[in-house]
Amino acid sequence: MRWKQQLLTLNPYQPGKSIDEVKKQYRLKEIVKLASNENPYGCSERVLGTLEQSTGFFALYPDGYATNLRETLATHLDVFPNQIIFGNGSDEIIQIISRSLLHPGANTVMAAPTFPQYKHNAIIEGAEVREIPLKNGNHDLDEMLAAIDGQTNAVWLCSPNNPTGTYIPEDQLIAFLDRVPKDVLVVLDEAYFEYVVADDYYDSVELLTRYENLIVLRTFSKIYGLASLRIGYGIASQAIIRAIEPAREPFNVNRFALLAAEAALGDQAYVNECRQKNRQGLDQFYRYCDINNLDYYPSQGNFILIDFQVDGNEVFQFLLEKGFIVRSGPALGFPTSIRVTVGSREQNEKLLGAISEFLAAKAALS
């Protein structure tokens, strides 16, 4: 078979270990999974109520235009309905943008480490990937600008950035957008937007009125607690949405996701509550790290990257055998770190207890 050569260089996505798998393998009764930045409190109860009421008739295709959700979201964001594109998770929007803009001969610019799907999709499309190392955990926007040339079709910004939790301050983002050529699409991935509390964070939807080469990505998978239903969206000028819509599959978002997302949007009190609890959870981690001399990046997301100054896989494995699933740093580009999703207060306390056991075991050896 004549596969695209670049496919042979890629590995399929490696999902974190499942709860059942870990239970069985280590004969554990209880597992705490803080690996994929899911909402530890689940979704709003309004979503559950809505889904229970929806009928069990599955023969019809879902609404391919997401009409009801589109109206609700457009009102919520104060944009026109045709400024939105929905995806089977924002992962699919990343794929749609890549299909629409990237090809052999084109290049695309992104930070490193950042969310791996930008690079993965660019490679499949045969585009050249220009990765600009983070500077102290932050996007190096000057170097990213310098990497743009006449063949650059898209630039990826992740803010808050996964896996560091760092964000781009408003003044820096605006200075960057002012200098990016108008025919280069800037993709601003805000998967953790609803968790942000920083004062100098920007209003990306407002920026869309000033920068016609900008698309903002958001998702219902993180704070809205709907990861298993797969729904995310992009917001941009009508011209950009019009250009990429043909690359979207007709019925890419299922009926339950559409209903759930609409109900979830209607409960902003729940979102606010989750944001507040997340800050309290982050404070638990900050305090612990400060006391124990562990380095970390202050986070605007619902996760924290903690540096242990030893092989991150070792920390990961130790925690796994105690029933805690986290993300190992080496796979994310941080060899001596782990990335932990902020859980409930109790989950965080238990995890920090296990981390203390790790640190004590290490200290006893040295």
- Report whether 193 contacts 162 (CB < 8 A): no
**Between 26 and 251, CB nearer to ligand PLP:** 251
Interatomic CA distance for residues 184 and 101, integer angstroms: 10
User: Would you count residue 89 as binding ligand PLP (CB under 6 A)?
Assistant: yes
**Between 134 and 354, CB nearer to ligand PLP:** 134
Candidate list 39, 50, 159, 162; residue touching ligand PLP; CB under 6 A: 162
Tokens of 140: 């190096």
User: Would you count residue 40 as binding ligand PLP (CB under 6 A)?
Assistant: no
- As measured in angstroms, the least distance from the Cβ of 228 to ligand PLP is 9
User: Would you count residue 158 as binding ligand PLP (CB under 6 A)?
Assistant: yes
User: Would you count residue 115 as binding ligand PLP (CB under 6 A)?
Assistant: yes
- Report whether 111 contacts 144 (CB < 8 A): yes
User: Would you count residue 191 as binding ligand PLP (CB under 6 A)?
Assistant: yes
Stretch that binds ligand PLP, among 89-97, 142-150, 241-249, 305-313 (CB under 6 A): 89-97
Candidate list 50, 70, 91, 211; residue touching ligand PLP; CB under 6 A: 91
Candidate list 219, 299, 328, 348; residue touching ligand PLP; CB under 6 A: 219
Of residues 13-32, which lie at the interface with ligand PLP (CB under 6 A)? none
- Report whether 342 contacts 304 (CB < 8 A): yes
**Between 131 and 189, CB nearer to ligand PLP:** 189
Where does this chain bind ligand PLP (CB under 6 A)?
A: 37, 89-91, 115, 158, 162, 189, 191, 219, 221, 227, 232
